[in-house]
Structure 1
Amino acid sequence: MARMILNRFIFMIFAGLLLLTFLFCLFHAIPGDPARLIAGDSAPENLVQSIRVAYGLDQPLMTQYTTYMAKVMTGDFGLSNFSRQPVLQIVGPRLLNTAKLAAWSMLLAMTVSLILGCLSATYWNHPVDRGITAFSLVGICTPIFVTGILAIYLFGVHLRWLPIGGMTTWKHYIMPVATLGLAQAAGFTRMVRACMIDALGRDFVTTARSKGVPEHVIVFKHALRNALLPIITLFGLGLGHTLGGAAVAESIFNWPGLGRLMVDSILTRDLPLTQGCIFFFAMLFILVNLIVDLLYRWADPRMANE
């Protein structure tokens, strides 16, 4: 277990360096002069040249790369082109806000999908199953931005029950978490249902029923435990999708998270801030995969020594 965790952290380091190298090359291939972008279109040429010298943009590309990577290794991701604040100082709180939104959304999605998926499999081909299937299909086919806008209009504007933006109080969490979580729960429910139908058809379930074991014990103790491996994989991939969907939810609900910050930095062409946002998004996704591997070993003890 410890060796696997160590290997994953080493992989994170190499993946992060490779990603930063790719982003550096990509952003330097974008047409336009970064110094002119910082100074403004109407800035005199001498000011643009002084900015170019101050930022080291007059140096050869390989010198710029080695200087940038050396700073990154010390935790210095540069300064934002517009706010003039360190990128790490800007990204840190936003990353925490996105993690909160994604964690609560995934908790809601997992809870709802496990309950509905197990119910749907237990009452397979009954009205309960058909109703849950209809809910899942509607959720899968409805984009997050449509659900979010409808929620804002209904609960924020029409009924005035909930605030429509920000994250000051617990009420601010309800609409973005519900929008993002239920969107993920719709897809999860279908997969949980399929896994549970397969598990409930196994021989050990038939044996347990013949011994008079209560149905809820069979479903939630025996069948669900044996269906956990594909479900854990699904939840791990779903958390990555949740992080991607968080950018949309954050823009709709004015949530001060990393996704919204990345969108804003791309629109303003704040290249150092965009690099920092993409890098930390990727590291968060790799960390999620590590957690999924640990859950695999908890669900299947046979993998503990691999």
Structure 2
Amino acid sequence: MLRYAMKRFVLAIAVAFTVSIGAFLALHLATDPARAIAGEDAEAQVVQQIRVEYGLDRPLPAQYGEWLTDLAQGDFGDSYYWHQSVAHLIIEAAPTTLRLAGFALLITILVSIPLGALAAINANTWIDRAALSVAVSAQAIPSFWLGLVMIVVFAVELHWFPVSGGGSWAHFVLPAFVLGMRSVPAVMRLTRAGLIEVYESDYIRTARAKGFRGRKLLTGQALRNALLPVVSVLAVQLGHKLGGSIIIESVFSMRGLGRLALDSILGGDIPTVQMLVFLFALTFVFLTFLSDLINAWIDPRLRLR
């Protein structure tokens, strides 16, 4: 297990390094940071002065080396837009997004896995078709529209939950539900397909011959092997929730990383956008590495690869 973990860790480090280069080059080649600081109407002389002052006139490899060195020392740079350290902005906004993503993932698991198991047990019946209909509906409804409907019904009309903000757990119920439902179709269909395949395997027939039925057969024999691909998908979905919560945070007026990314893009704040892109990508790398370890723990055969 240790050898497998080290191989995956080295691969994760290589991917993270590649991502750092991509995040740096994409923003510096797509826009002019000096122009973003000075403003669109600034004179060329002012732009050039800012370029020299911030060291933006140096070759890109030299700028990347300095950025990577500062990053290794925990220095994320300073925001051009808010005139604060990027680390402070991220630390201030991260708790909201982490709570939102965690609650959303919990909703995804509680809805999709039981629904997928129910559909697999009753494959090709009206129950299976009803479960698939729920999944298709959840995928077809736009997140911003569902969020607005939830606000009108449960916040404005029924007064069950707050309209916006993130001060208490009640503020996260509606946005977490909307964000979590976006992942239900993929996880539900994968759980259903995995269980149907597992139920047709030889060891399940042997288990049935030994008297395993119902929940005992599902949880004790079938579900563990069927969840191997689901773990990987859940890791990716958690990454999507962390990095793709811009719409939800905007609809519910939550000050998280998604809203920070949106404001930074609109404000031309290159250091903040650059660091957020890198952190979001790094999150995907880490979650993929973690899912590989969990899958190797569930299925020892993976450790031989």
Instruction: Tell me if both proteins adopt one fold, taking TM over 0.5 as the criterion.
Output: yes
CA contact (8 A) 1:265 1:274 kept: yes
Deviation string, structure 1 residues 243-265 (Cα, Å, up to 9, x no partner): 34322222222222222211221
- CA separation of 1:64 and 1:199: change in aligned 2, threshold 3 A: closer
Partner amino acid for 1:266?
I
TM alignment of 1:290-305, pairs within 5 A: 290-305=289-304
| 1:62 Cα deviation after fit | 4.1
SS in structure 2 opposite 1:118? helix
Contact 1:167 1:173 in 2 (8 A): yes
Matched with 1:97 is: 96
CA shift for structure 1 position 161: 1.5
Q: Cα deviations across residues 62-83 of structure 1 (Å, max 9, x unaligned)?
A: 4433333332232222100021
Query: Greater shift after overlay, 163-172 or 235-244?
Result: 235-244
Does structure 2 retain, via aligned residues, the 8 Å contact 1:12–1:283?
Answer: no
The equivalent of 2:80 in structure 1 is 81
1:15-54 to structure 2, matched below 5 A, reads 15-32=15-32, 34-40=33-39, 50-54=49-53
User: Matched residue pairs, number?
Assistant: 305
Structure 1: distance between partners of 2:40 and 2:112 = 52
Could you give the per-residue CA deviations for residues 152-171 of structure 1, whole angstroms, max 9, x where no partner exists? 12112222211122211110
Correspondence 1:225 to 2:213: no
Take 2:212 and 2:48, find their aligned partners in 1: how far apart are those partners?
Answer: 79
Q: Which shifted more, 102-111 or 232-241? A: 232-241
Mapped to 2, the partners of 1:11 and 1:211 lie a distance apart of 43
Q: 1:7 deviation in Å?
A: 4.0
Alignment CA distance shift 1:142-1:2 (3 Å): same
Bigger relative contact order, structure 1 or 2 (CA pairs below 8 A, ≥6 apart): 2
- Looking at structure 2, the residues matched to 155 and 269 of structure 1 have their Cα atoms a distance apart, in angstroms, of 36
**Identity across the alignment (%):** 36
* 1:114 alignment partner in structure 2: 113
The alpha-carbon distance between structure 1 residues 27 and 213, as it changes in their structure 2 partners (threshold 3 A), is: closer
Per the alignment, residue 210 of structure 2 pairs with 211
Given that residues 139 and 187 in structure 1 are in contact (C-alpha distance below 8 angstroms), is that contact kept between their aligned partners in structure 2? Answer: no
Kindly indicate whether the alpha-carbon contact (under 8 Å) linking 2:232 and 2:288 is maintained by their aligned counterparts in 1. Answer: no
- Gap change, CA 1:202 and 1:153, over 3 Å in 2: same
State the secondary structure of the residue aligned to 2:81: coil
Instruction: Kindly state the Cα deviation for residue 138 of structure 1 after the two structures are TM-superposed.
Output: 0.7
Unmatched tracts of structure 2, length 5 or more: none
Cα root mean square deviation, aligned: 2.4
Q: Shift in Å at residue 49 of structure 1?
A: 5.3
Cα 1:140/1:55, change in 2 over 3 Å? same
CA distance in 1, matches of 2:127, 2:31: 57
- 3-state DSSP class of the match of 1:83? coil
- TM-score, normalized by length of structure 1? 0.88
Q: How far did 1:54 drift? A: 2.8
Contact 1:139–1:182 (CA<8 Å) still a contact in 2? yes
Q: Is the 1:20–1:275 Cα contact (8 Å) retained in structure 2? A: no
Task: Give the deviation of 1:286 after TM superposition.
Answer: 0.6
Residue 79 to residue 219, structure 1, CA distance change in 2 (3 Å)? same
SS of residue paired to 1:269:
coil
Give the Cα separation in 1 of the matches to 2:295 and 2:247: 30
> SS state of the match for residue 165, structure 2?
coil
Alpha-carbon distance in 1 for matches of 2:233, 2:31? 40
Could you tell which deviates more after superposition, 295-304 or 45-54? 45-54
Q: 1:174 to 1:20 in 2, by over 3 A?
A: same
CA distance in structure 2 between the aligned counterparts of 1:203 and 1:62, rounded to whole angstroms: 57
For residue 268 of structure 2, what is the aligned residue in structure 1? 269
